[in-house]
Structures are given as structure tokens and as C-alpha cells.
Amino acid sequence: MTGTEYLQEKGLSVVVKTATRWMKGFIFLYGAYIVCFGHLTPGGGFPGGVIIAATFVLITLAFGREYALGKLGKLLASELDSLGALLFLFLAAGGLYAGSKFFTNFIEKAHPTGTFRLFSAGIIPLCNISIGVKVGASLFMVFIILAVVRVVVVNGKGKLITTEKAGTK
Amino acid sequence: MNWRDTLVPFYTALPLCGAFLIPMVSRKVRWFADFFAILILTLLVAGCGALFGHQQVYTFGNWPAPYGIVLVLDPLSWLLLFLVNLIGLMAAIFSVPYIERLYTSKLRYCSLFLLMIAGMNGMVLTGDLFNLFVFMEIATIASYALVGFGCEARELEASFKYLVIGTIGSSFILLAIALLYGKTATLNMADIARQIAPLQSDPLVLFSFVLCLVGFFIKAAVVPFHAWLPDAHPSAPSPVSAMLSGVVIKAVGVYALVRLVFNVFGFSHLTGQILVGAGILSMMVGVILAVNQWDFKRLLAYHSVSQIGYVILGIGLGTPLGIAGGLFHLFNHSLFKSLLFLDSGSVEYETGTRDLNRMGDLAQKMPVTSLSTLVASLSISGIPPFNGFWSKLLIILACVQAGRPGAALWAVAGSILTLSSFTKVLRYAFFGRGQKFDEASWKEYREVPVLMLVPTIFLALLCLAASILAAGGEHGFFGDATGVLLRGAGSYITTVLGGQG
Amino acid sequence: MMYALCFMVFLVGLYGVSCKKNIVKIILGVVIMEYALNLFLVLLGYRRGGIPPILDRSMETTQFASQAVDPLPQALVLTSIVIGLGTLSLMVAIAIRLYERYGTFDVTEIRKLKG
């Protein structure tokens, strides 16, 4: 389909689509900023992850379900979710490797840096990033499953037999 | 030995790692989910064996106790840790063929199951109040999802009811934590105990104590707040019911209640009265409502309410024999109640129904299951030589010794009614015929697969072997755990704030 | 005074959970209760005339410690909000599936489990 036909087919109107296409990079960047500077300014993993998820929700609302699922499908979101949590556990266990307890800030103890700098505070920015990835992916998955995937109720007994994506509209 | 000191945080880290690794790997390798869950649980049970008698305060990140989060392993924590991981292992082995046949998504089940184990392990080990709340929420949210796992109408209804009532309980507990933090400016349980020791009659402390009591009574399904249990426990898949009745109401409800009442707030005479009263009420209401049930698992769920009443009664007495009896009954109840739920799962696997009227003569077709149900029924009714007899005897003796013969009489009456309802189960399901018995489908029944028999046989043997643990009364196997509770806030404070490593 | 208001919002939420018949209203009651609790927890850290707990380059740490608002309840509330989010998403998912099974959101009609 041609460009104008695509713009008028699914999702919301042309104005919203154009605005979203310009803004989605900035919103994602803002979320990433909150995650990465979590040890210096308010924020950290959770709020930053929520804003990253909000970017994808905005894309879903503006462009329709298929486009957004193409960008970050259910499978990829699930893998990112597990990866984020495993990375966090791995960082926590890194303290054990350095000869001390869990959650010891082994990077800071090995290479102490000054304060108020971006690359400081040891494992804390890395933990923030892993939590940000996890929260963003899992919130987007919650949104997709609640709003996009439709459950088909077969033979009236209400048994969850198949799930299918909502038809193209 | 030094390596034992590093084992403690793995009780939360390993199941969490498993819960997140399973969805990633299982999509490609089909058998990974069960195998990894059983492997993790076996390692944890083996670790419990290595940690027996070990007492430790583990400081995360080397931050000392009032400033950082600590994990405290003392004999009471060890007891519950052992129970959680053992029953978890049995339920995980049982669920390999069970979930295969009756439900759809294995990897989601194993992942949620490991999350529940991680939450309960963390809750039992932690020494920090808000950490207790967080792990409690992890465990209970995983259990809400597991109760509604097969998404049929009744299961979803039960899950929603459980969810709302459980969230109200958690909100009360969070409000109590907030009030305590406002009063003492610290979250470490030992530090809070030290600061509120002179403030026993402060209205804020009393209010947060009442909120804690109500919140944990909701979680432990003690009688005015038990309404969610008869709906939630039958609707869950059977290994999950075994976990819920066997460990969740104990680790999340009874353990946290006991830890806060004895070691943080301090045990007073009025608290004892409330616990004894609630215990007797739970005992009688549970067993009277259970006698009339025709659904196998609903009957077992009502009996859970009743037996938790025994535990609360024993602990509420406050004497060494009483607390030892209560903790011993906690241990035994985990064993025989999870055995009963696993047996009901075997029956459901084979016959496809939970209605006692439709079953009959199962002893001829499923001999091993019938034998283990017989063992468990004799245990729960308190027949010697099984373990239930000894723990109920300890509680009754403790009631008489503490000068409450009325409580002892109620306990005996409850035991007789328990025996009568289990006679009903055995007569209609296993050794006789129900009223709507179907001969044609009865001929098709076989014994369940081996993987489902192994946990039931093992738990039945443990029911018999656990009688030995009664030897010595309050100075025997449960003596250390009893001592932790009896010596109250003072010794807990010295354990946590004194010895750190 | 603010604490009393938080407690009143908590009671409003509790009223919503226990006395309303629509499932969506029950879910909203739970959300209001959790909101009130989080607000109470954050307000506990307040210090009159305090500054936000963000260390600036130009500030001494002792002066900071004596003037800043308590940051620990803020961390607790962050965790609590996320827990509430998890519970809420589970509740909404179950409510949607309940509607598909029973055809109604009315709690008095969703009563197949009895006895």
C-alpha cells in the first residue's frame, strides 16, 4: 500500500501519527536518561522503565497493533524481561565472586571514582539499567496481553483453548 | 566451616534465577522446566541438611545490622526453611505428570512455582521488616496466579476472592510497618524490638500490633478471616494446593505472626488470651464445617483451618510445652496435609472428579494411593503411632498444664470430629462406594504414574518417622526453635545486633 | 492532620472494597487503599523546612543530613508502588477473564462456589 493509504488505514489520525513519529525517539531518550542517571538525580530503574514502556504503548495506540508488535514483539519482550532480571541477579552475585557478600559494590571497591560523575557508584547504574530493561519490557507485555491479545472462548465451557491476536482493523 | 556461611542468600537467589531462566530456555528445550525446578529444590533441601544447627546473621553488602538488610538464620527459621523446601520438592516431583495431563503451560507453572518458593524462603530468613513485606507479596502474588491457573470459571472466581482478601491483609500489614517506622525510624526487626521494649502501652504501638495481628490472621486463615481458604485451596492445581495448605499459610501467616508477636512486640498475657481464643474458634468452626462437605478438596481445606487453630492454640499458651507442641503440630500438619492434597490430586488425575459421591472402591484399583491416604487420615485424626497423635497430645497436655482444661476438652472434641470426617472420606472414596458410583468408568482406573507415587510414599514414611521427633518434649528436636520464641525479644536482639558476619 | 487525611482515604478505599458490588469498583477501592498507604509512608519522612534529599556539589554532608527530608520512605514507596502495579495488573486480567466466563461484573452473581 502506498504511503498515504498506510497513513489513513490503522490507528489514529494522521496528526497523531506524525507527532508520534517525531516524539517517540525523544520520549525513549528521556526514559533512558532517567534510568542511566539514577544514581545522581531522582529516578532510577522503575520510573525510567515505566517511561520506556510508555513509548511503546504510545506507538501501539498511534499506529495500530501490528506495527507495534513488529517493533517489539511478545517473544522479544519476554526474553528482555528475563534477561533484565538475570542480569540483576548476576550483578548481585558478582559481590560473591569478589570474595565478599551478595550485593557488595565490588566495582566501586576495586576502582573507586569520584562523586557526582556519570561513571561512578559501582554497580548501581548497571543495576538501574537492568531493572529499567526489565520493567519496560514487562509493562509493555502486560499492556499487549490485556489490550491486544484476545481470548477465544470455545464450546461455551470457558476453557482457555486458543488465544489469537485481534483481527486487522 | 566457612563455606556454610555463604549458603544462606542462595535460598532466595537460586529460585529467582530459576524462575527467570525457565521461560528463556524452555521454549527451545522442552524438558528443561521440570528438570531445573526439581534440581534447584533438591539443592536447597540438601543445603538445609548442611545448615542444621547453624546460626548466622548474613549482612548484605557488608552493611552492618541497623543500616543494612540482614538475613537471620536461627533454629525457628531453619525449621520453616526445611519445611518449605521439602514440601516444595515433593510438590514439584508430583507436578511433572499432573500438569502435563490436566493443564496447559508447563513453563509458566514452573516459573510461578519457583517464584513462590523464592518468596517464602526470603520471608522466613529475613530480619528486616519491609523486606518481610516484599517477600510476602512476591509469594502471595505468585500464589494468586497459581490458584487461578486453569482458567475456568470457578478457579478465576476463587482466585479473585483470594486476591482481594489477601490484598486487604497486606495493606493492614503495610500500614502497621509504616506506623512502626514512623515511631522508631528503623526497619530492622531487632532494632525495632529494642526501641519499643519500654513503650509497651503506647497507643501507636498497640494500634500497629492490632493491625499486624489482623493482617496475619487474614494470611493464616484464622476464623473470622478464613473466608477465602475454602474457595482458593480446592480450585488450585493439586500440587499448588499442597503447597498452599502445607507451607504458604504457615510461612506467610503463622511464622510471621509468631516472629513479630514474640520477638518484636513481646508476648503479654492478653496476646496469649487472644491467640488461644482464636485457636479454639478456628479449630471448632473448621471441623464442624468440614464434616458436611462432599467435595474432597473442600473438606481438606476446611480441615486446614481447623488444624491451624491447633497450632495457634499451642503457641498462644506461651509455655515451653505449648510452644513446642504448636511447632511440632505445624511440622506434622505440613507433612500430612500436603500428603492428603497430593492424594486428592492422584484421585482427580485418575477419576476426573472431586465429588466423594462419584468415587468408590478405589482401594482395589489404586492400592498405593489408598494406603498413603489411610496413613495421612490416621495422622490427622491423631491415632497412635502416627505423628499427629504426639503433637496433639503435647498440645492437650500443655493446655492442662497451663491451667486451661476447657481448651483441652475442645481440642479432644475437634480431634473426634476430624476422625469422623476422614472416616467418611475413606468409606466413600476408597473402601466403599459413593451414592452416584459409576461402574463403567471404574473399570478403567489404574494406579497413577510413578513420579506421582514417589512423593506420596516418601511423605507417608515421614509421617511415621516424624513420631520419633516427639521424644524429649520441649527439650528435644523442637527445643531450639521453642527457645528462640520463649526467650523473646531480648535474645533476638542480641542474636542479630550482637553477632554479625 | 495530614496523617488523619491519609487514614480517611484508606477507609474510603476499604469501604469501596467491602461494600461495592461491581468488580471494577472493588479494584478501584484496592487502588485507592494502596495510594493512601503510599502517601502516608512518604509523608512520614517529612521534615519542616527540609530540602529534597539530593546531594549537591556545593553542600556539606553534615548540613545536608540535618536539613534533608528522609529518603528511606521514598525508596520504600517506590517498591510499594511497583508491588501495587503487579497486583493491579493481575486483578484486571482476572476481571476480564471473569467477564468472559460469567457475562457480568456483578459480584453477587459470580457465586458458583458455595458451601
C-alpha–C-alpha distance, residues B71 and C79, integer Å: 19
Q: Identity (one letter) of the amino acid at B478?
A: F
Q: Which residues of C touch A151 (CB under 8 A)?
A: 97, 100
Closest-CA distance, C44 to chain A, in angstroms, reads 19
Separation between Cα atoms, residue C74 and residue C50, nearest integer Å: 14
Rounded Cα gap, residues B81 and B331, in angstroms: 11
Indicate which of C42, C100, C104 best probes the interface with A, i.e. most A CBs within 10 Å of its own CB.
C100
**Residue B348 near residue B359 (C-beta atoms within 8 A):** no
Q: Name every chain A residue with its beta carbon within 8 A of the beta carbon of C82.
A: 46, 135
pLDDT of residue B292: 86
Q: Which residues of C touch A44 (CB under 8 A)?
A: 78
* Residue C79 C-alpha, separation from nearest chain B C-alpha, in angstroms: 8
Amino acid at A12: L
Please name which of C27, C26, C32 lies closest in space to residue C89, comparing C-alpha atoms: C27
Q: Are B61 and A101 within 8 A, CB to CB?
A: yes
Tell if the CB–CB gap between B141 and C90 is shorter than 8 Å.
Answer: yes
Residues from chain C that touch B157, judged by Cβ atoms under 8 A, are 98, 102, 110-113
Residue in A with minimal Cα distance to C97: A151
CB contact under 8 A, A93 and B13: yes
**pLDDT-derived band at A88, boundaries 50, 70, 90:** very high
> Whose CA is closest to B16, among B35, B36, B30, B31?
B36
What chains are in contact with C, requiring at least 3 Cβ pairs below 8 Å?
A, B
Chain A residue with the nearest C-alpha to that of C80: A46
Give the SS3 label for residue B73: strand
Chains in touch with B (3+ beta-carbon pairs under 8 Å) read A, C
* Structural domain span for residue A155: 3-165
Residue keyed to cell 523442637: B478
**Given an 8 Å threshold on Cβ–Cβ distance, is A146 in contact with C89?**
yes
Chain C residues touching residue B295 (CB < 8 angstroms) = 115
Statement: the pTM of the whole predicted model exceeds 0.80? yes
Check whether C30 has a pLDDT greater than 90: yes
Cα A29 to Cα A52: distance, rounded to the nearest angstrom: 8
Q: Once rounded to an integer, what is the mean pLDDT over residues B328-339?
A: 91
User: What residues have CB less than 8 Å from A13, skipping those under 6 apart?
Assistant: none
pLDDT score of A25 more than 70? yes
Confidence of residue B497 (pLDDT cuts 50, 70, 90): confident
Separation CA C14–CA C24 (nearest Å)? 14
CATH annotation of C2-109: 1.10.287.3510
* B171/C80 touch (CB, cutoff 8 Å), yes or no: no
Lookup result for grid cell 453477587: C108
| CA A106 – CA A115 distance, rounded (Å) | 16
**Residues C95, B161: contact at Cβ < 8 Å?**
no
The shortest C-alpha distance from B111 to chain A (Å) reads: 11
Q: Give the pLDDT band of residue A169 (cuts 50, 70, 90).
A: very low
C-alpha cell at B327: 511447632
- B455-492 pLDDT, tens digit each: 888 888 888 888 877 766 667 677 777 777 777 777 77
Residue A27, amino acid? I
What region, left, alpha or beta, does residue B74 occupy, with left being phi > 0 and alpha being psi -120 to 50 degrees?
A: beta
| Chain segment B97-151, per-residue pLDDT in tens | 888 887 777 888 999 999 999 999 999 999 889 999 999 999 999 999 999 888 7
What is the tally of structural domains in chain A? 1
Q: Which range is least confidently modeled, B132-141, B161-170, B347-356?
A: B347-356
Mean pLDDT across B45-72: 84
C-alpha span between A127 and A88 (Å, rounded): 6
How high is the pLDDT of residue A1? Answer: 40
pLDDT tens per residue, range B189-223: 888 888 888 877 888 899 999 999 999 999 999 98
Residue A29 to chain C, least CA–CA distance (Å): 22
Tell me the nearest-neighbour CA distance from C15 into chain A, angstroms.
27
The domain ranges of chain C are 2-109
Contacts of B151 in chain A (CB under 8 A): 158-160
For residue C104, the distance in angstroms to the closest alpha carbon of chain A comes to 14
Q: Interface pTM (ipTM) of the complex? A: 0.94
